[in-house]
Structure 1
Amino acid sequence: MTTQSTGTRDTGYVTRMRDHVGQRVVGREHELDLVLAAVAAGRDILLEGPPGTSKSTLLRAIAEEWGIPFVLVEGNADLTPSKLIGGHDPSRVLREGYKDENFVDGPLVRAMREGGFLYIEEFNRAPDDTLNTLLTAMAEREVTVPRVGSVTAQPTFRIIASMNPYDNVGTTRLSSSVHDRFNRLVVDYQGADDERAIVALRTGLGPSDSIGTITTPDDDDQLPADLAAALVADSVALTRATRDHEDTRQGSSVRGAIDLALVGAQLLAMRGIETPGEGRLTDEDTPRRRYAESMRDAAMVALSGRLHVDAASATTPERVVQEIWEDHYLLHPAAAAGG
């Protein structure tokens, strides 16, 4: 049944929407069901999890499938209530005075007028008075704008927020009144299989034809299929290891694996490496050694800046990457061989 006041959709519509969105998002079937159920029921929702866990990808896909705007806002100390709501164009005010037509909608008012998703990243970095502005919009589906009047939200308007539970620098503790108005869903990293699928999709390092070659992004060169498969698998394995290392407070998201695969592909091509090699890694100048050293160099570039080393540790991000590389290629060669 359709409830016009909240934008609730019938179960048949939501089921069809879930199927369509599921074709555009790798994994996340469980999270997709829960987010869809919440927004279809007319509720606002807070997604809590580390960066790079497909939160915005999932929400963009839902908004596009629903046919509504996706309004992205970054939460920070500069996000004041006036920036969120909007204001009159100063130059036009001087010429024309305060008129409705020279009011410039802020992201909140725009999302309300157009019935879109207002997605606020780093929600717990926004000032308290800004969050309090959202409370009225959430509770009443209406805000009062000085010299403009009341703005009433369209039925499909939702506020969706995200925050990183591992980041406590520059963040504020959310009040109970804010928590009370949100549904909440914890979103963690995806499994290794899903992350490999994401990296293959985002880098173009997936099978492109039936002759065993992979087309690299941005050019017409091709990587041998075994090299591309190793590149994807090793990039994901090295990235996932950053999350479990004893000296890291927070590791890299799958974005690091994507960049590692892309940088690695360019390095391998520049160095003329066409195979991941076989066997144990030795000190000899072998294809296996050249491939592994290229992956180490690419990992330093792609992963070291994404690591948050524990403050109590005396190590560095570069040393952590080196240790992860040694563990992958030297201590566990059977798992690393051939990707």
Structure 2
Amino acid sequence: MSGAGTVLGREGEDELLRAALDAGAHVVLEGPPGTGKSTLLRAVAGGRDVPFFLVEGNAELTPARLVGHFDPAQVLAKGYVPDIFVDGPLVDALRTGGLLYVEEINRVPEETLNVLITVMSEGELAVPRLGVIKAEPGFRLVAAMNPFDAVGTARISAAVYDRTCRIAMDYQSAATEASIVALRERDDAVDPEWRDQVVELVRRTRAHADIRVGSSVRGAIDLVGIAARLGVSRGVPATDWHVGLDAALVSLSGRVRLLESCTRTAEQVVRELYEGVFGREPAAADDKTGDAPPGEA
């Protein structure tokens, strides 16, 4: 998705993020999965030449895992002395003036979130038995969240938004997503027209009436890759209708989230979308043609 320090289709967000960080702000990147949030921040961090610390937000991210801890074995021998403290990612970022990136911040427990709020407010962290750690110049916190994911998440408090700047990131254009898929192809380039149809299929998952959350561009990347391998194993082109359908079912059925009111399976919905882009199954179409009256086939 990126190259030479840039991210395809994210020039505007890149500029905004760099300006916000240069101004001393902490930032929340908000958008669906697969929109390049992590890729964008890594590109920006590389351009700033500062340490980069990644934290995965989940229910197991306790304050101790974020901040660090005293080595229990060393405590017995030496007591609570600074040199036996094992720095966590937050303390590492504070000491080095680095970028701390917290993925899925809306999955972080409230007590851990309160630690981050304090650091953003005060620019320092008080650690029991260790003392106060002040943020070195350059320290910034960037968090990411998917506003459409309601499972296992919590509503982000106003205290977080009050201490951060927010950059909204929606899906990129169809042309940009096609370029991203092309960059990720592992084999010889596939037919560009077929690739564009794959991207169109994935984009339609985001607007289907029965789908609550559609697939990101990762679905298109996997679909193209799986179709290429299936084509080789079956001795047919990757663009074969049945190869494409099987690849679509594998790549997309687990990525889409159906509405609770939907009575169909994800596989049925994906097949409907696939036929809408690539047409009906060739064998079925041939049978229908064979039943037509003479002269109308």
TM-score (norm 1): 0.79
Q: 2: distance between equivalents of 1:230 and 1:298?
A: 17
Task: Please point out which of 32, 37, 47 is paired with 1:55.
Answer: 37
Partner letter of residue 48 of structure 2? W
Task: Please point out which of 255, 272, 276 is paired with 1:323.
Answer: 272
Could you say which residue in structure 1 is the equivalent of 2:27? 45
Could you say which residue in structure 1 is the equivalent of 2:99? 117
Could you tell me how far 1:234 is from its partner in structure 2?
Answer: 2.8
Could you say which residue in structure 1 is the equivalent of 2:293? none
Could you tell me how far 1:275 is from its partner in structure 2?
Answer: 7.2
Q: 1: distance between equivalents of 2:195 and 2:133?
A: 49
Could you say which residue in structure 1 is the equivalent of 2:223? 260
Could you say which residue in structure 2 is the equivalent of 1:67? 49
1:114–1:231: structure 2 CA closer, same or farther, 3 Å change rule?
farther
1:330–1:228: structure 2 CA closer, same or farther, 3 Å change rule?
closer
Could you tell me how far 1:79 is from its partner in structure 2?
Answer: 1.3
Task: Please point out which of 253, 272, 283 is paired with 2:235.
Answer: 272
Could you tell me how far 1:95 is from its partner in structure 2?
Answer: 2.4
Kept in 2: contact 1:20–1:65 (CA 8 A): no
Aligned residues: 279
Partner letter of residue 217 of structure 2? V
Could you say which residue in structure 2 is the equivalent of 1:13? none
Q: Does 1:169 align with 2:151?
A: yes
User: What does 1:91-106 correspond to in 2, within 5 Å?
Assistant: 91-106=73-88
Could you say which residue in structure 2 is the equivalent of 1:108? 90
Q: 2: distance between equivalents of 1:47 and 1:121?
A: 9
Could you tell me how far 1:148 is from its partner in structure 2?
Answer: 1.2
Partner letter of residue 256 of structure 2? L
User: Does 1 or 2 have the higher relative contact order (CA < 8 Å, sep 6+)?
Assistant: 2
Q: Does 1:244 align with 2:207?
A: yes
Higher mean displacement: 191-200 or 131-140: 131-140
Deviations 1:283-337 (A, max 9, x none): xxxxxxxx11110000111111101011111111101110011101127x9xxxx
User: What does 1:198-213 correspond to in 2, within 5 Å?
Assistant: 198-204=180-186
Could you say which residue in structure 2 is the equivalent of 1:301? 250
Instruction: State the Cα RMSD in Å.
Output: 1.8
Q: Does 1:32 align with 2:11?
A: no
Deviations 1:140-163 (A, max 9, x none): 211011111111112111111111
Residue identity over aligned pairs, in percent, reads 50
Could you say which residue in structure 2 is the equivalent of 1:193? 175
Q: 2: distance between equivalents of 1:105 and 1:228?
A: 50
Q: 2: distance between equivalents of 1:275 and 1:312?
A: 35
Q: 2: distance between equivalents of 1:203 and 1:330?
A: 24
Partner letter of residue 262 of structure 1? G
TM-score (norm 2): 0.89
Kept in 1: contact 2:27–2:143 (CA 8 A): yes
Residue segments in structure 1 that go unaligned for 5+ positions in a row: 1-18, 205-215, 217-222, 277-290, 334-339
Q: 2: distance between equivalents of 1:241 and 1:299?
A: 13
Kept in 2: contact 1:231–1:261 (CA 8 A): no
Task: Please point out which of 114, 136, 152 is paired with 2:118.
Answer: 136
Deviations 1:224-265 (A, max 9, x none): x5x442442232122111111111000111111111111111
1:274–1:318: structure 2 CA closer, same or farther, 3 Å change rule?
closer
Could you say which residue in structure 1 is the equivalent of 2:288? none
Q: 1: distance between equivalents of 2:94 and 2:69?
A: 15
Q: Stretches of 4+ moved more than 3 A in 1?
A: none
User: What does 1:78-97 correspond to in 2, within 5 Å?
Assistant: 78-97=60-79
Partner letter of residue 261 of structure 1? V
Could you tell me how far 1:20 is from its partner in structure 2?
Answer: 5.8
Q: Secondary structure at the match of 1:170?
A: coil
Q: 2: distance between equivalents of 1:275 and 1:178?
A: 47
Partner letter of residue 241 of structure 2? A
Residue segments in structure 2 that go unaligned for 5+ positions in a row: 283-297
Q: Secondary structure at the match of 1:47?
A: strand
Partner letter of residue 163 of structure 2? R
Could you say which residue in structure 1 is the equivalent of 2:5? 21
